[in-house]
Chains A and B, each alone.
Chain A
Amino acid sequence: MGLLKNTVKHKTLFFMALPAIIIIFMFSYMPMFGVLVAFKNFNYSQGILASKWVGLNNFKILLVSGDTTWRLIRNTMGYWFLFTVIGTICYLALAICLHECINQRFAKISHTIMIFPTFISWIAVTFIVKSLFDGQTGVINHLLVKFSHQSVEWYTDASKWPMILLTTYLWKGVGYGAIIYLSALAGMDQELYEAAELDGASKWQKNWFITLPMLLPMVSIMTLMSLGGIMTSNTGLFYQVTKNIGLLYPTTQTIDAYIMNALANGTTDFGMTSAVTFFQSVVGCIMVLITNFIVRRWEPDNALF
């Protein structure tokens, strides 16, 4: 009763929140029910509600085409792991380098340039990667021919792509990723360093024994936070940059790239796609819950709920 009275009393506030509530319902909640097509034999003309229920039939397809399923899951989780580990190391290294640099104007300019790739689109990145790795006109092949007289067909050789994708990801994200650690470094207690200096600690020792341990909580929080996205991947990187080339699928196709490919081709067979989506959503949900549980135990201030 109190709630109703309170809402009536603050009806202006309620109406201020209402548009957002409606939009969240339409575009966040309703798609959750869209996932239910995983249990249906979806037919476009019949719509979601009228299509027939088929129970777990679609998930059988997932098992039957086990190779594809396994490949998608392995790639998605593998790249998440690779990006998180190598990414974090690079962000930390860059943040410490920028922080240690005495010439702060130089550090600022170089950081500004490094952040910039974050703001160009994945389509532009696709063009750039192509101009570097293209078989005939690419810069890298040109250099390879010049120095070792052999060229590599990058766009048909799947084994080269984990490295290319990692480099692209780091190139686009390293400046941006370092921002958060840099601001953490700026807020650190200078007294510790002064004390260490009195005790005769060298620069390396100070970084190793003071800076890194102080950044560690931040690192764990950021890693835990990204755990919720372990089943998602960037379609820009895995669908566009790879140019969606079939030969590269073994090492480049992730769950989102697979779904994107299906949707872009105007697929009418939603069986496998919907089953994969359902799997992705459920695992994502479980991961967020686990993450939040750990964070709340450990650092309640950073828990989401």
Chain B
Amino acid sequence: MRYSRNTDVLIINEVQKKKKYSIGQWCLMLILSFFTLICFLPMLLIVIVSFSSESSIAANGFSFFPSEWSIKAFEYVGTFSGQIIQSYKISIFEAVFATIITLFLTGMFAYTLSRNDFMLRKFMSIYLLITMLFSGGLLGSYLINTNVFNLRNNLLVLIIPSAVTAWNCIIMRTFIQQNVPPALIEAAKIDGAGEAYTYFKIVLPILLPVMAAIGFMTAIAHWNDWQTAFLYIDNPKLATLQLMLIRIEKNLSYLQQKQGSLSPEEMEMLKNAPSESARMAVLLYTIGPIVIAYPFFQKYFIKGITVGSVKG
């Protein structure tokens, strides 16, 4: 990235800084600020709504300047915490295990793909590339997962099917080819190291940056994945956070549509249903971990994208 530039340019920058910004630079910064604000405001809105009182939402709708602030939404979330904690557990389980398994399998597979002296690798590359060419789409996977492997309401469905993707393997292989000299592997072999030892003790430490990049992207993708849980999980005990959000919305709109003809039980449910601000508060809980993790991993994932672009 341009953020780390060589010293000559830095000196030029310093000189230009002292020279004061030109009008063009001010305009540029104004434009950038404007678009940054547009990106930022909708997220700010969620926070503000979750701190708005119900009556101010009822009177003015969602607003950046609510007439009355309230932390009632978060109190409500407290009463609802059983499901949230359960979903948190499932989501963390999914993200952690999926990341570990993805990195473990992708790393080993990519390493064997990068070994020139391993003749089978050509066939393995073609085997991998075909998956980029042709796919069964949503329906194909759905039929196989439910009809052949019986993965409905099984947490494995959240983790295993997406564990090895061609794109990750190619990024990892490219990184290995660029950063692990064959001479290193050769030297390890001469010293009597076995293949597994060479990979886990010598090659793997070099792969840390690309592991961090792919690991972060995988963890985020699984944290945010709603589709798999939506298609395969019905059991509320196994619901991920995203699925929980979908269910809240769905139940609520179902109850609201039926409003006139509700049974007493459903009346009770509608009365206890989360308010607008409470739903936003729940949403905040699901975004929170990403906000915390993002600054630490930012530089790694930028590296990951750039590695991937060197050769597709």
Contacts and interface: CB of A to CB of B under 8 A. Distances in A.
A236 interface: yes
Contact of A123 (B62, B169, B246, B295): B246
Interface residues of B, number: 107
Main secondary structure of the interface of A (DSSP, over half): helix
A122 B224 contact: yes
Contacts, number: 304
Given A13-B195, A116-B43, A139-B63, A121 B160 contact: no
B27 to A, nearest CB: 10
Nearest 9 CB-CB pairings of A with B:
A31-B136, A31-B140, A34-B140, A121-B224, A20-B109, A12-B195, A137-B61, A186-B2, A27-B161
B46 A127 contact: yes
B39 A171 contact: yes
B9 A180 contact: no
A120 B249 CA distance: 18
Contacts of A141: 61
A17 B106 CA distance: 9
A115 to B, nearest CB: 8
Given A16-B195, A108-B3, A240-B226, A2 B144 contact: no
A19 B63 CA distance: 52
Given A137-B61, A171-B39, A97 B136 contact: no
B260 interface: no
A273 B13 CA distance: 58
A127 B63 contact: no
Contacts of A303: 312
Contact of B286 (A20, A124, A256): A124
A37 B28 contact: no
A232 to B, nearest CB: 8
Nearest to A175: B39
Interface string B167-197: 0010000000000000000000000001110
A303 B220 CA distance: 29
Interface stretch (A61-69, A70-78, A208-216, A278-286): A278-286
A100 B106 CA distance: 38
Contact of B1 (A114, A182, A232, A260): A182
Interface string B13-26: 10011000100110
Interface string A78-117: 0000000000000000100111111110111010111111
Given A35-B139, A104-B13, A277-B138, A24 B230 contact: no
Given A10-B195, A31-B141, A137-B276, A263 B109 contact: no
A123 B143 contact: no
A191 to B, nearest CB: 12
A293 interface: no
B134 A260 contact: no
B57 interface: yes
Interface string B115-156: 101111000111111111111111111111101110000000
B85 interface: no
A232 B35 CA distance: 29
Contact of A101 (B29, B46, B120, B287): B29
A285 B133 contact: yes
A248 interface: no
Interface of A: 2-3, 6-7, 10, 12-14, 16-17, 19-21, 23-24, 26-35, 37, 42, 44, 47-48, 94, 97-104, 106-108, 110, 112-117, 119-124, 126-128, 131-132, 134, 136-139, 141-142, 171, 174-175, 179-180, 182-183, 185-186, 190, 203, 221, 225, 228, 232, 235-236, 240, 256, 259-260, 263-264, 270, 273-274, 277, 280-281, 284-285, 288-289, 301-305
Interface string B216-253: 00001001111100110000000000100110010000
A29 B133 CA distance: 11
Contacts of A108: 3
21 contacts: A6-B117, A6-B120, A10-B195, A17-B109, A17-B112, A20-B106, A28-B135, A31-B137, A48-B143, A103-B25, A104-B2, A116-B39, A117-B42, A119-B294, A124-B46, A126-B249, A131-B46, A139-B63, A240-B226, A264-B231, A289-B133
Interface string B277-312: 001100100110010001100100010011001011
A259 to B, nearest CB: 5
A132 B42 contact: yes
Nearest to A234: B227
A112 B1 CA distance: 13
A113 B1 contact: no
Contacts of B118: 6, 10, 13
Contacts of A236: 226-227
B96 interface: no
B11 interface: no
A141 B132 CA distance: 44
A34 B136 contact: yes
Given A117-B39, A141-B61, A274-B139, A30 B132 contact: no
Nearest to B119: A6
